[in-house]
Amino acid sequence: MLHLNVLQEAVQPEGNRNFKGLSDKISTVCRELEVPVVAKEVGNGISVDAAVRLQRAGVRAIDIAGKGGTSWSAVEAQRAKKQGQQADTAFADWGIPTEEALVNVRKALAEIPLIASGGIRSGVDIAKSIALGADIAAMGQPLLAVALESADQVIESLVGVIHELKVSMLCVGATNLAELRAAPLLRQTAGF
């Protein structure tokens, strides 16, 4: 999995800001590795243009990782502040919301597997993501919070997420993920 964290690197005092020839480098990695390569944004969303370039480079799946979850720009600002450096908060709210990136990339690239992440906090969010075009969804912060307590808490939390996903599917009449993906949508203007 290739993490695309351009903004994080740009605001990080010691960040790597050399992105020259990145598409060619990604293409080389995709060509030379014997396993499929997944590209993952880290909280700012994937644009249609970037998704198309990634697919052309040979990436086999894309994790949208849109705005809505952890803002790594805000994390870097806090980190800089703790180190007594200038905290750049200008980009704390930067990015493409997960649902917007997901819908737009799915319209442009109908066949590439898409992972929805970035603000996914429940089974309902997973159901919405799949209905909007994701193949699967991922979450971090909600599980990390309970993982700090115990492995049993993680299992209990995941059981709850699965229950919410199943109830969501029941409510739209979907007996499997393919039917959920085809469920009629009522889009709201607010995020998840």
Ordered structural domains, the chain, with CATH: 2-181 (3.20.20.70)
* pTM, rounded to two decimals: 0.89
Which pLDDT score, from 0 to 100, does residue 60 have?
A: 98
**pLDDT for residue 81 is more than 80:** no
Which pLDDT score, from 0 to 100, does residue 71 have?
A: 83
Q: Are 104 and 132 in contact (CB under 8 A)?
A: no
pLDDT band at 167 (very low <50, low <70, confident <90, very high): very high
Q: What percent of the chain has pLDDT over 70?
A: 96
Name every residue whose Cβ is closer than 8 Å to that of residue 108 and which is 6 or more positions away in sequence. 48, 51, 52
97-126 pLDDT, tens per residue? 999 999 999 999 999 999 999 999 999 999
Helix axes 22-32, 48-57, angle to 10 degrees: 40
- Per residue, the 3-state secondary structure of 65-107, as one string, reads CCECCCCHHHHHHHHHHHCCCCCCCCCCCCCCEHHHHHHHHHH
Q: What percent of the chain has pLDDT over 90?
A: 70
Q: How far is CA 139 from the centre of its chain?
A: 8
* Token duo for residue 156: 């209990």
pLDDT band at 191 (very low <50, low <70, confident <90, very high): low
Q: Are 7 and 59 in contact (CB under 8 A)?
A: no
Residue type, 19: F
pLDDT band at 143 (very low <50, low <70, confident <90, very high): very high
